[in-house]
Structure 1
Amino acid sequence: MKCLDDLLVAVQDRPVKKIALAVPEEPGLIKLVKQATELRLAEFILVGDEDRIKELLSEQDLDFKDFEIQDRKDHKQAAERAVSLVVEKMAEVVMKGELHTATFLKAVLGKEKGLRTGNLISEITLYDKIDGGGLQLITDCAMNISPTLDEKKQILENAVELARKLGYEKPKVAVLSALEVVNPAIPDTLDAAILSKMADRGQIKNAVVDGPFALDNALSIAAAKQKKIGGEVAGKADIILVPNLQVGNALHKALVYIAEKKIAAAIMGAAAPIVMLSRSDSTETKLVSVALATYIS
């Protein structure tokens, strides 16, 4: 994948996958369902209050007979049913609708009937590289607050798995900190150096990992050369592993509101792709995130 638009085209050329959408009881969600269906990005099984769903479909000039609706008025039951549809192979992706994130994730992570694999679940933000050289991945921007070294390894591995599904055979990973040298006073620089060495020793596979990097010399070849930083990753990172949620969340929102970049978001680490969108996400972000989930399913 060279850009997010390539992803939209690629999905349209494949068999349409099904998304189990829990509690689609909000006009914006039904509008998204309509757009994604018309573009052949996905088909939807709508799980929630059947009467309300039919009302919202009618408002969008959609015939409820064209959609599979499963009546679950209780949000907990709707989330559990949406997850079970994926577990039972009746859908390939599960998506959060108009319900609390905690309720949705409790169903996703249920020990007996959920999508738990034993791996850490993490979020990945994707956007087109500034130089047009492919996709840039940043993780974790939404879920893990202050990950330990082992959790950072799992977050990194989730991002590598996604990158490989998108065609990056051996993605370059820059482990981010405030500076590009190891400083014992900044623990994140120590974690970065350890992760880099773990990759060198084969404990992290299918990726080239280096760090610590400041953001400029992870993304800019000119900045890396100016600071005399060499290696395969410097200035050419495909994946940016942030030290904590505060950094990741700020970068995610800076891309949207300052750089005005089109982005997509993915949740990895479960047994199937998960879509969790915000009401404030643009239509483009919502559509490409749906496309991404169905593409990797």
Structure 2
Amino acid sequence: MADVTTPAATRPHEKYDRLIAVARKHPPTAAAVCHPCDAVSLESAVEAAKFGLMKPILVGPPARVRDVAQKGGLDISAFELVESAHSHDSAAKAVELIRAGRAEALMKGSLHTDELMGAAVSRDKGIRTGRRISHCFVMDVPGHPDALIISDAAVNIAPTLEDKVDIVQNAIDLAHALGSAEVRVAILSAMETVNPKVSSTIEAAALCKMADRGQITGAVLDGPLALDNAISPDAAAIKHIVSPVAGRANVLIVPDLEAGNMLAKSLSFLAGADAAGIVLGTRVPIILTSRADSLLTRLASCAVAVLVAAARRAQEMALAKSAV
């Protein structure tokens, strides 16, 4: 693995370097690692612990986990190992660790995302909040000055306007947790004008007005915006779009999952971007990594979870002080 502490000038993904460096300033976050029964997921937990990002609690069949560790030369002797019978049992027990207050993050191992999320969203035994659950990619695009948050490209298939309010707010809160001084949200569509025949343009305009009325907070919003005039100052200038967001967006809200998935994968496979993934709207951040992710990307996903958990602790402390 390349050294993620290498100076930014010699690395193509310096934004992830900075993200990991900031996360390492916080104490390691206790994380329930659900069913780490393959080399990639177990390595992710081990490396995150080595970097001081996480304190893993492994949840899985002990014989399988130890066999993977032995074959991969991974030392898990310092980690707690919670026994489970199979992947569904792993998901239930990992979520229970969250409910018991023993972990502040949930990390996907070698089980299907649906299994993990099914346990997380269970109405009786899950970790729901009042917010709509949504996914964010934090993308490190080579040559682009800022990390880009893209939502939602993995959870909400065809979100309603009501869903999008929470999707936007989750993304804004994430941007603040990552240390963004100014959060600039572009609500994307295929065009930058409101067209009654294109519902995403109408919803974009409504979301911006909701932000004006304080129904969405913590950021400046603009939309509808096409992708080019959301991220390119030149494209925005050509279209004569005068806006604090146009050409400078650091959060991109897509119309639906299909658009978001294609956007994220286009950046990954055509522009060489890395995509750290996190699920928000639950009691704790959920780290969703892919077996195809580089180790740096998996560590970046862990770093995002660390910063989200730290922001939530700070918020809870502030609320506790105000209640006294």
TM-score range with shorter-chain normalisation?
A: over 0.9
- Please give the alpha-carbon distance, in whole angstroms, between the structure 2 residues aligned to 1:294 and 1:169: 18
Asked whether the equivalents of residues 193 and 224 of structure 2 are also in contact (C-alpha less than 8 Å), the reply is yes
Unaligned runs of 5+ in 1: none
Gap change, CA 1:116 and 1:166, over 3 Å in 2 = same
- Cα distance in 2, alignment partners of residues 140 and 132 from structure 1: 21
| Correspondence for 1:78 among 67, 78, 90 | 90
- Residue from 11, 19, 24 that aligns with 2:31: 19
Any conservation in 2 of the 1:58–1:64 contact (CA below 8 Å)?
Answer: no
Give the letter for the 2:26 counterpart.
R
Secondary structure, counterpart of 2:65 in structure 1? helix
Which of these residues, 179, 201, 205, is aligned with residue 217 of structure 2?
Answer: 205
SS in 1 for 2:77: helix
Match of 1:168 in 2: 180
Whether 1:230 and 2:242 are equivalent positions in the alignment is yes
Q: 2:92 matched to 1:95?
A: no
Match for residue 296 of structure 2?
A: 284
Number of equivalences: 296
Summarize the Cα distance change of 1:173–1:130 in structure 2 as closer, same or farther, 3 Å threshold: farther
Identity score, percent: 39
Shift of 1:4: 2.1
Amino acid at match of 1:158: N
Is the counterpart of residue 159 in structure 1 residue 171 in structure 2? yes
Q: 1:115-264 counterparts in 2 under 5 A?
A: 115-128=127-140, 133-264=145-276
C-alpha separation in 2, matches of 1:196 and 1:94:
32
Which residue of structure 2 lines up, in the alignment, with residue 266 of structure 1? 278
Moved more, 130-139 or 265-274: 130-139
Aligned partners of 1:19 and 1:44 also within 8 Å = yes
Contact kept, 8 Å, 2:46 with 2:75, in 1: the verdict is: no
Amino acid at match of 2:279: I
Q: Secondary structure at the match of 1:217?
A: helix
Task: Please say if residues 186 and 249 of structure 2, whose CA atoms lie closer than 8 Å, have aligned partners that are also in contact.
Answer: yes
Letter in 2 for 1:286: R
Give a deviation string over 1:193-234, Cα, whole Å, max 9, x none. Answer: 111111112221111111100000000111101110011111
State the Cα distance separating 1:127 from its structure 2 match. 2.2
Equivalent of residue 117 in structure 2, options 98, 105, 117? 105
- 1: CA distance, partners of 2:160 / 2:109: 30
Secondary structure of the 2:192 match is coil
Scaled by the length of structure 1, what TM-score is found? 0.95
1:255–1:113: structure 2 CA closer, same or farther, 3 Å change rule?
Answer: same
Aligned match of 1:44: 56
C-alpha contact (below 8 Å) 2:152/2:254 kept by paired residues: yes
Structure 2 unaligned spans of 5+: 1-13, 310-324
Runs of at least 4 residues of structure 1 off by over 6 A? none
The equivalent residue for 2:9 is: none
Contact 2:141/2:273 (8 A) holds in 1 = no
Q: Secondary structure at the match of 2:138?
A: strand
- Distance between the aligned counterparts of 2:180 and 2:93, measured in 1? 34
Q: Is the alpha carbon distance of 1:215 and 1:48 closer, same or farther for their aligned partners in structure 2, counting shifts above 3 Å?
A: same
Looking at structure 2, the residues matched to 134 and 63 of structure 1 have their Cα atoms a distance apart, in angstroms, of 36
Alpha-carbon offset, residue 187 of structure 1: 0.9
Measured in 2, the distance between the counterparts of 1:280 and 1:130 equals: 19
| Equivalent in the alignment of 2:319 | none
8 A Cα contact 2:276 2:300, kept in partner: yes
* Cα distance in 2 for residues equivalent to 1:134 and 1:275: 21
